[in-house]
Every structure is written in C-alpha cells, then in structure tokens.
Amino acid sequence: MASIVSPRHLQGARHWHPARMEPELAIRMRGVVKRYGQITAVDGLDLEVPLGTCVGLLGPNGAGKSTTMRLLTAQSIADEGELEVLGFALPGESKQARARCGVVPQLDNLDTTLTVEQNLLVFTHLYRVPRAERHAAIERSLELAKLVDRRAERVDKLSGGMRRRLLIARALVHQPRLVLLDEPTVGLDPQVRQELWALIDALRSEGTTLLMSTHYIEEAERLADTVLIMSHGTAVAAGPPSELVLEHAGTEALEVYGGPARLAEVEAEARSAGLRTRRTGTSVSILGIDGRNGFRLEGERRPANLEDVFVLLTGEEIA
C-alpha cells in the first residue's frame, strides 16, 4: 500500500536539515488499530507526516479521521500498532508530545463568557508558556488571527469565522512544532473558509508542520503538500494531490449531461471502451479520457481532479 507520504517534493527551506538531528517525522503511525466494541474505527493505518509539511487526511464522514486525531493526543488509546509524535512514543510519552502540539478541534470549545484575550491567557498557562513570554505570545496569536481589535470582546459576541480564527490562534500560543487541525472549516461560509485557508497557509509557509483532516476536497487540494485518502479506517492512497490525480484519474475527464436513461447508456458505452466512470448527480464523468479523440460521445472536457480520485478509490460521494 502506497501509504508512506513522500517528502521528496519538499526539499528546501521547509525541510529540516538532517544535521540538526531532529526526528525527521513529526508523526509516524504504523499498523494502528482502534476498535469501539464491534466497530473498527481505525483499521491498520500507516501515516507519516514529515516535519515542515502539511498533510491532509481526506475521507468521508466515518472514515476514521477524527479517531486518528484523538489517537494523536492520546485521548483515544490504540488497540494495536505504533504511534510516535515528534519522536515521542504514544501513549506513554504523550504528555511531552502534547506540550509541543497545537490542536484545533472540530467542535468549538472556547470559553464563551470570557474575552478573546482571556481565552488565550488561559491557554498560555495550560501550555506552560513562561511568565515572561506570555504577553508576547498572546499578542502574536492575536495578530496572526487578526483579532487584535477584538481582544476585549466576549467570545459569545464574535462571528462564527472569528471564533474559528480564535480557536486556531489558541492552538498557537506556545508556538507548537506540529498543529493538528480537525475539519478546520466545517460548516462555514465560503468567504470565511477562504479567510481560514489564508491563515492556515500562513502557518504552512512559516514551516509549522500540519496535519489536517477534512472532507472538503478543495481544502485538501489547496493546502496539503500530500494527501492521504482514508476509507473505512485505513489509507487507500497517499501522495501529492497532483500525482494522485495523474496516477488514478489521468489528466482529462469527459463530463456528459443528460436524463437518467441517457446517463445509463453513456456509462455502458464508456465501460465497453474500457474507461471508468462516476456519477456526479446530473452527469456522468468518464475518467482517463486523456486526449483520446476517437471517442465519439459529446460532452465537456475538463481536467481530472482529486474528487475523481476520491470517488474512484472510496466509492463514496463527498460533500
């Protein structure tokens, strides 16, 4: 299984120099299994996140993304397999690992009756920022999240987007080496989502290692250096988004529109020509059409994308 995320396209400033003797991987999971009664939420997952990269965990709801995130903070304990975060073995040394990680949870758990600044202050204590550095840490986080003007505002007076930004800022007060983002933009307006992408991208370019779970294809495509596609608790493919697309869906797809009967015909025809298809609601996408001119179906040619790969590999549609 091609589950080792390759750092080779990332050599350069963002990659840690080996002479520093740092662990090269921020996260290393091998054969991790997590069961809840009859349900196996994570089923033999291998995951590697090299330092200085952004890895996207892409998968439909129930694929095991959130469980993976909980495993990495030792809030879930794996039944089998090995986990290492920043060189610390979990769960035994998870406290050391947690001290160096920032976590942005999927569900907002800010203290809503406190101000923006008070929320950050509490976290400088929880993350043991030395007294002399607390003030600067809060200022830095406020600036990063563009919440300087809102510092004295109570959280329950903030908009959804500002609360999300604060949630991210809160995870950064101690300048963590690794940040875990669990569905960072779920349920937000498109504009707000873009705002957050800019924020996450800024972190990325500063060299912070990121592991981000998402079920938004576009989010993974834009932010992740490498994507790991998860389905039923395991990795079904991994690699840079462009390589995954090329490998699994080719370069071009043909999108054919029509009524249900027409779409069924199109599917049959494409399959008889040895091509793979997927339904996209009102149309059928014929994949791997790559410059074939002889194919006589009329439709709209478009570049293949990560969503094609996702549907091909997981057999599941995604939001």
List of residues contacting another protein (CB under 8 A): 20-23, 36, 70, 73-77, 86-88, 93, 95-96, 98-101, 103, 105, 107, 109, 111-114, 118, 121-123, 125-128
Report, in Å, the least distance between residue 177 CB and another protein.
9
Residue labelled with tokens 């709209």 = 300
Query: For another protein, which is the closer residue by CB, 54 or 101?
Result: 101
- Helix, strand, coil % over all residues of the chain, rounded to 5: 35, 25, 35
Query: For another protein, which is the closer residue by CB, 70 or 163?
Result: 70
Query: For another protein, which is the closer residue by CB, 73 or 305?
Result: 73
Report, in Å, the least distance between residue 13 CB and another protein.
20
Query: For another protein, which is the closer residue by CB, 71 or 254?
Result: 71
Report, in Å, the least distance between residue 170 CB and another protein.
8
Query: For another protein, which is the closer residue by CB, 11 or 113?
Result: 113
Report, in Å, the least distance between residue 254 CB and another protein.
46
Residues 6+ apart with CB under 8 A from 282: 257
For residue 163, the cross-strand partners are none
The answer to whether the beta carbons of residues 96 and 175 sit under 8 Å apart is: no
Report, in Å, the least distance between residue 171 CB and another protein.
9
The answer to whether the beta carbons of residues 142 and 169 sit under 8 Å apart is: yes
120 closest CA partner among 133, 194, 86, 177: 133
Length of the chain: 319
Report, in Å, the least distance between residue 117 CB and another protein.
10
b/e burial code for range 233-270 (CB count within 10 A of at least 16 → b) = bbbbbbbbbeebbeebbbebbbebeeeeeebeebbebb
Query: For another protein, which is the closer residue by CB, 70 or 248?
Result: 70
